[in-house]
A = this chain, B = another copy of it.
Amino acid sequence: MTNGPLTLMQQTSALRQAIRNQEHTGPTSGLATGAMQGNVVILPKEYADEFLMFCHLNPVPCPLIGVSAVGDYRMPMLGEDIDMRTDIPEYYVYRNGEEAERCYDISSLWQDDMVAFVLGCSFSFENALSQVGLTPRNIEEDVNVSMFESSIPTKPAGRFYGNTVVTMRPYTPKDAIRAIQVTTRFPKAHGAPLHFGDPSSIGINDLAIPDFGDPVSVKEGEVPVFWACGVTPQLAIKNAKLPICITHAPGKMLVTDLLDADLAVF
């Protein structure tokens, strides 16, 4: 034991232990800052190859950072002790394309044919934006980021298809240009935005009514800036109508031992 402040690796390990023990079942935003967090999709092997192809064809909304072996609930490339059955604060279980239940532990649901996927998450670039003084409005207002189903189609793969879900963060044009530069450094966390300005040109009718998450205020002189979102695969999963599929609850992510900086470019 040291007497000083915890290192990031110690924070990450302690947080994951608390999640495993169901002492922490809430959002992971702002915790163990600097450690990469991930979106989670767990599904039967029968669908795994198609889903892998879906991620390959749609690397911006679905930036793959980890895949398990078939039936193996470990994820050693993201953390030696990770157990995908217990290490996410809350799980959503989909059956036949519908949300069926929520739980904190999926040990009883785990099947020998299951494959776990982990996709990068915008928390990585939100930290980077905050560090250069471009704190996202959702963090300033302490709410979930606004998410919208856009009219931008993904490239389908087998039974997986659907539109791209986008997050929205408002900035002045000058700050948006800087935000584009900063987020370009994080291709494994959705990278640069897909769109800015007129929401209707990507099929969004009302910024005040997000499809997921919370609305945020857009100030005079600001334009909405839209990034691809890790909720995109959840739409494709619903469309694929799998007999069973398990995801993380939005905002309650897998905390990994990778650093945001590890997968940054430039």
- Of the A-B pairs whose beta carbons lie under 8 Å apart in the complex, a sample of 9, sorted by A's number, is A173-B198, A176-B196, A177-B180, A177-B192, A177-B194, A180-B181, A181-B181, A197-B197, A266-B266
A117 to chain B, nearest CB (A): 27
Q: Which residues of B contact A173 (CB under 8 A)?
A: 195-198, 201
Q: Which residues of B contact A89 (CB under 8 A)?
A: none
* Complex alpha-carbon distance, A195 and B197, angstroms: 13
Q: Which residues of B contact A195 (CB under 8 A)?
A: 173-174, 177
Q: Does A221 contact B (CB under 8 A)?
A: yes
A201 to chain B, nearest CB (A): 7
Copies of this chain present in the complex amount to 2
Q: Does A184 contact B (CB under 8 A)?
A: yes
- In chain A, residues 179-217, which have Cβ atoms closer than 8 Å to a Cβ of chain B? 180-181, 184, 192-198, 201
Q: Does A223 contact B (CB under 8 A)?
A: yes
* Complex alpha-carbon distance, A215 and B131, angstroms: 39
Residues of A in contact, count (CB < 8 Å):
18
B193 touching A177, Cβ below 8 Å = yes
Query: Which residue from chain B places its CB closest to the CB of A195 in the assembled complex?
Result: B173
A196 touching B221, Cβ below 8 Å = no
A152 to chain B, nearest CB (A): 9
Given contacts A176-B196, A180-B180, A197-B223, 12 further A-B contacts (CB under 8 A): A173-B195, A173-B196, A173-B197, A173-B198, A174-B195, A177-B192, A177-B193, A177-B195, A177-B196, A181-B181, A196-B196, A197-B197
* Complex alpha-carbon distance, A180 and B180, angstroms: 8
Q: Which residues of B contact A184 (CB under 8 A)?
A: 181, 184
A61 to chain B, nearest CB (A): 15
Q: Which residues of B contact A197 (CB under 8 A)?
A: 173, 197, 223
* Complex alpha-carbon distance, A173 and B176, angstroms: 12
* Complex alpha-carbon distance, A196 and B196, angstroms: 10
A140 to chain B, nearest CB (A): 22
A246 to chain B, nearest CB (A): 34
A108 to chain B, nearest CB (A): 45
A195 to chain B, nearest CB (A): 5
Q: Which residues of B contact A198 (CB under 8 A)?
A: 173
